[in-house]
Amino acid sequence: GAVVSQHPSRVICKSGTSVKIECRSLDFQATTMFWYRQFPKQSLMLMATSNEGSKATYEQGVEKDKFLINHASLTLSTLTVTSAHPEDSSFYICSASVVGGETQYFGPGTRLLVL
């Protein structure tokens, strides 16, 4: 149980385009989803916390207009990287918590490469 999927697993795009990444909880309802960014050989950096039906809470230094997060249902959150640039290339990982739970369950990650 507690499986989280992400789509796509890998995406290559041109500079200036927008990319949408989906995060789904497959077998549980997640009131809270989290979006992380991971640079090579580094730890995870929390970008934002997404609660179903409300606006996402962004961490300091994360541009909310660049990284649009939508949590439309209890099983789906999306991250849209708008007007992507090469410096946005990274590994993006989402996680989800069950209702009332503490453990976060992580998706497999999405590797974004902006050319």
Partner 1 sequence: GNSVTQMEGPVTLSEEAFLTINCTYTATGYPSLFWYVQYPGEGLQLLLKATKADDKGSNKGFEATYRKETTSFHLEKGSVQVSDSAVYFCALSKRRNTGNQFYFGTGTSLTVIP
Query: Considering the rule CB under 8 A, would residue 44 count as an interface residue with partner 1?
Result: yes
Q: Which two tokens stand for residue 27?
A: 């077998």
DSSP category for residue 74: T
On whether the CB atoms of residues 95 and 4 are closer than 8 A, the answer is: yes
Query: Considering the rule CB under 8 A, would residue 70 count as an interface residue with partner 1?
Result: no
Query: Considering the rule CB under 8 A, would residue 103 count as an interface residue with partner 1?
Result: yes
Query: Considering the rule CB under 8 A, would residue 81 count as an interface residue with partner 1?
Result: no
Query: Considering the rule CB under 8 A, would residue 42 count as an interface residue with partner 1?
Result: yes
DSSP category for residue 9: S
On whether the CB atoms of residues 99 and 29 are closer than 8 A, the answer is: yes
Selected range binding partner 1 among 13-21, 37-45, 64-72, 78-86, rule: CB under 8 A? 37-45
> For partner 1, which is the closer residue by CB, 94 or 114?
94
Residue 34 has φ and ψ, to the nearest 5°, of -125, 145
Query: Considering the rule CB under 8 A, would residue 93 count as an interface residue with partner 1?
Result: yes
- CA 30 to centroid of chain Cα atoms: 14
Residue 68: strand pairing partners: 80
Among positions 1, 14, 40, 41, the unique one binding partner 1 when judged by CB under 8 A:
41
Q: Which two tokens stand for residue 45?
A: 């950096």
Query: Considering the rule CB under 8 A, would residue 90 count as an interface residue with partner 1?
Result: no
Question: Contact residues for partner 1 (CB under 8 A)?
Answer: 4, 6, 31-32, 34, 41-44, 46, 49, 51, 57, 93, 95, 97, 102-109, 111
